[in-house]
Amino acid sequence: MRWYTVPSAAVAAGTATLGYASLYERNRWTLRRFAVPVLAPGSAPLRVLHLSDLHMTAGQRSKQAWVAGLAELAPDLVVDTGDNLAGADAVGPTLRALDPLLDLPGVFVMASNDYYAPRPKNPLKYFKREHKRVHGDPLPWRDLRDGMTARGWLDLTNARGELTVAGRRISFAGVDDSHLRRDRYDLVEGPADRSADLRVGLAHSPEPRVLDRFAADGHDLLLCGHTHGGQLRVPFYGALVTNCGIDRARARWLHRWAPPAPGRPSGTWLHVSAGLGTSPYAPARFACPPEATLLTLTAREP
């Protein structure tokens, strides 16, 4: 019988990579910044803080402190695109982390890991587009929702809304988690309000079938999460999977989704947050640190 051994150098490299991904990078909180030319010519900038995929557990004190500290950026608007929880005991810690931000204008949508607790999964399932989804135990999502709405944030889960932010009127439309097909776009469909200064669409998962409808209705900016940016990315290749219908090239960050068109001079921009967390059962990130994004909305060219 022949025995095959893995070279010790390969074992050492694999161990070092796993240690980096699970012990260091997944806690390397990062603020990403992008400028988005979606406002009318001559407009003053607006600053939008986009949070997503906190996957908070009660004991993640470093993450909670970092999120709370984002209030020092003094954004004009905060947008949360869901998957905030990773346990039934995480609602209080999550709301405490968000507490300084809840004093600011904000909007949110809910997502699968607000409704259901994570559970162990075979990671190879993510390479199969239509893998069977098995939910964990129900989470107290209503407590999270009520804690945010009580402070004035708008719940846009299958709903429309409007806020005046820094003197500008922003119209919003949002859907429930489209990865779970809980989205009900028919409840928010129709032309976006052209009399508003900005039109924003929210969805947790960037499913093209939903993004296309937002774009067709004339929304200027779409904000999503869900992908974790791929979570484990290969240098010079990118995300291995997106866990949704979006292409790998747009698994994170800012991209043009639809070009300018009559009545839609900015086209439609898409920002996909790489998110701030992981499942407790897959606590690793590689070449994709946990992040929030500060979007500076600027005037487009005349």
Q: For residues 112 and 133, which has the higher predicted lDDT (pLDDT)? A: 112
How deeply is 23 buried, as exposed, middle or buried, from its count of CB atoms within 10 A (0-12, 13-18, 19+)? exposed
Instruction: Look at residue 25 and tell me if it is in a domain.
Output: no
Least confident residue range of 18-22, 29-33, 281-285: 18-22
The pLDDT tens digits for 253-276 are 999 999 998 888 899 999 999 999
Instruction: Look at residue 1 and tell me if it is in a domain.
Output: no
DSSP H or E stretch at residue 9: helix 8-19
Given this model, what pLDDT does residue 13 score? 37
Instruction: Look at residue 179 and tell me if it is in a domain.
Output: yes
Contact assessment for residue 157 and residue 112, using Cβ atoms and an 8 Å cutoff: no
In DSSP terms, 37 is beta-bridged to 298
Distance CA 135, CA 144 (A): 19
Number of domains in the chain: 1
Instruction: Look at residue 272 and tell me if it is in a domain.
Output: yes
63: CATH: 3.60.21.10
Distance CA 138, CA 127 (A): 26
Distance CA 223, CA 20 (A): 29
Instruction: Look at residue 23 and tell me if it is in a domain.
Output: no
Q: Which is it for strands 77-80 and 106-108: parallel, antiparallel or unpaired? A: parallel
Residue range(s) defining the domain that contains residue 190? 31-299
| pTM score of the predicted model | 0.91
Distance CA 113, CA 212 (A): 24
- Residues near 208 by beta carbon (within 8 Å), at least 6 away in sequence: 245, 246
Instruction: Look at residue 270 and tell me if it is in a domain.
Output: yes
For 50-77, the DSSP string reads EE----B-TT-HHHHHHHHHGGGG--SE
